[in-house]
Chain A
Amino acid sequence: MQPNLKVEVSPDVLSQEISGETVLLDLKSEGYFGLDKTATRIWQLLQENKSIEEVHSTMASEFDVDPEVLRADLEHHLKELEAAGLISICEAK
């Protein structure tokens, strides 16, 4: 995934946090999704309009994880969110 890509959170997604986890509701599909604590942190950063590179950089500073493993996991997670219609990935302006 190219580092200058940016993520846009769908305006049809509502979220609530419970004990560090997040419940997402997609109003279009009326589907529910659960995010664990790590995925919740990614979601928070995406909502702050961070680029994928910025999300990676912040996560790397907050979690004790190999940067390349983190990059692979992050990409995998973003693709899952995109496939579920919760985000769209586009070129940064």
Chain B
Amino acid sequence: MSEISASRAQVDGFLCSILRGESASWPAAACAEFENELLDRASHHGVAALIYGVVESNRGWNGWPDRIREELLKASRSAAAQDMLRSHTLEKLLTEFDKQGIRVLIIKGAALAVTLYEHSRLRTRSDTDLFIHFGDIERVCSSLSDLGLEILTPVYKNHQFVCAKKTTHGSLHFDIHWRIQNAPQYARVISFDEAWAKSVPVPGMAGAHMLNGVDALLLACLHLKGSQHHDEDRLIWLYDIHLLASSLSIESWNEFQRMVVEKGVGAACLDGLLKSRDSFSTEIPPGFIAALEASHPVQGRFASSNLALLIDDLRCLPGLRSRSILLKELFLPSPSALMARYEKGNRAWLPILYIRQVLGGVAKRLSLH
């Protein structure tokens, strides 16, 4: 028998077959290269703890090298510790927001971890995503500071900001979104008020809210498409889509179809669902694919342009102060940020860099995407 080539596709295929619940028997001809590749890919895809959990619960370790099992167990221990610390910090945050009367939705991995996965540690994540109303940004920033979290990024220009709590083992990151998605073409697909009206309680977290299943599936699909830096085939995101799609009733599928067609994001959602089907045999109701294939993106220059979004941001944000901060973040960043961005060490460059920044910023706002 020839040795199995440790190509990424083969390792990814093996990981998918385990998550599909098929036999997890270790390939008889697997070589050391395959073992190393499996650990690398499981980590890259964010599924190391999940793979351990699935194989362990199926008692499927037959033939697995001890080293691989031990490494996956290590990943699971680390995921468990992170999960406990994240949940505890999140609860403190939510309690503070509740005291201040601030509405917040837990979105993405942190919400899916406690609803779709057998245990929240199985859904590893590098941060916790929260969705807030744009009218609450200043109060949220103030509450975060009171709780000792440091805001690490500009608050307005990317429609989200990152804050962190330092711990003895590094920093815990929270992504605070005031638009559902950063990408301009998807930023206004679901407003906070719309999502809040349909939100559901988070199991085990008193008073906490999350997106309903239909909105969560829509966001999971857009998340795959929405960022230039993301790996669209990352298995943990595709598995989220698989679990979300598998949890929908026929009525919810109909609602999902109606919503994505109406919002002009059928193609993006179909892409995510088909990738999930390819990887995990996700069942998609008959007729759904044809309906989405026949749908069209929202047309028109202002439907998804950066300029339209900027105008809408300025219209939505409360008060002159937040609007002026947005414009400053976009066009007039601090000298140090500007010099770092353009990799210039000499302050003599600053006038030229500011001119370049303003012209570049204007050009970007006027572009379609």
Contact = CB atoms under 8 A, between A and B. Distances in A.
Interface of A: 14-16, 18-19, 21, 23, 25, 27, 29-32, 34
Interface in B111-151: 119, 121
A19 B60 CA distance: 13
Nearest to A29: B168
Contacts of B56: 19
Contact of A23 (B81, B88, B167): B81
Contacts of B81: 23, 25, 32
A8 B112 CA distance: 34
Q: SS class of chain A's interface: helix, strand, loop or mixed?
A: strand
Interface of B: 56, 73, 76-77, 80-81, 83-85, 88, 119, 121, 167-169
A37 to B, nearest CB: 12
A74 B8 CA distance: 48
Given A16-B84, A30-B85, A23 B168 contact: no
A23 B167 CA distance: 17
Contacts of A25: 81, 84-85, 88
B264 to A, nearest CB: 43
Given A16-B84, A23-B80, A25-B85, A31 B168 contact: yes
A30 B168 CA distance: 6
B88 A18 contact: no
B80 A19 contact: no
Nearest to A32: B81
B50 to A, nearest CB: 13
